[in-house]
């Protein structure tokens, strides 16, 4: 929750955030707290695995929460309107590996990993590119 809130507080109008990690690593949980930062704590944020995308409108922007897990080809992503979303809001993209060759220059990639099975222990790796390089994500900054 703290990481999602910190990242959300650093967002500008149009952002691309790639959420990487295995099943159960915390991608949707991160997205939930991220969306709730902009909307309300009561906002329901389910996994978009079967719907592919959910949108959340708020006073700041529209958040587009994509899940590419079930897609087979990168061309299917464009049918979901991801290109339009990039111009209109903040994108949270779970399972983004399918479109890694199309990532925008300005982006944040978050890798979540379960460290010990049957625990809530996770490691998080942040890789920032473009304008994200100048933002202070660390808690001591």
Is the CB of residue 86 less than 8 Å from the CB of residue 110? no
- CATH number of the domain located at residue range(s) 2-133 in this protein: 3.40.50.300
Alpha helices (H) in the chain, listed in sequence order: 2-9, 27-38, 74-79, 82-88
Element housing 66 (H / E)? strand 62-67
Q: Can you give the C-alpha Rg of the chain in angstroms? A: 14
Give domain limits for the chain: 2-133
Whether pLDDT at 52 is above 70: yes
Q: What is the mean pLDDT of residues 32-60?
A: 84
Q: How far is CA 125 from CA 44, 93, 122, 135, in A?
A: 26, 16, 10, 15
Give the pLDDT confidence score for residue 8 in this predicted structure: 93
| Structure confidence by residue, pLDDT tens digits, 59-107 | 878 999 988 888 777 777 777 777 778 888 899 999 999 888 888 999 9
The DSSP symbol for 10 reads: T
């Amino acid at each position: 929750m703290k990481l999602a809130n910190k990242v959300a507080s650093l967002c500008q109008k149009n952002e691309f955030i790639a959420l990487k990690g295995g099943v159960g690593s915390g991608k949707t949980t991160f997205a939930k707290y991220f969306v709730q930062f902009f909307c309300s704590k009561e906002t329901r944020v389910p996994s978009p695995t079967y719907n592919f995308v959910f949108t959340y409108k708020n006073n700041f922007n529209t958040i587009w929460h994509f899940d590419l897990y079930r897609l087979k080809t990168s061309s299917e992503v464009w049918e979901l309107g991801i290109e339009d979303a990039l111009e209109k809001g903040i994108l949270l993209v779970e399972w983004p590996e399918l479109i890694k060759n199309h990532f925008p220059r300005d982006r944040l990639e978050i890798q979540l990993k379960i460290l010990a099975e049957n625990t809530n222990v996770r490691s998080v790796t942040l890789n920032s590119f473009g304008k994200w390089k100048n933002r202070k994500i660390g808690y001591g900054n």
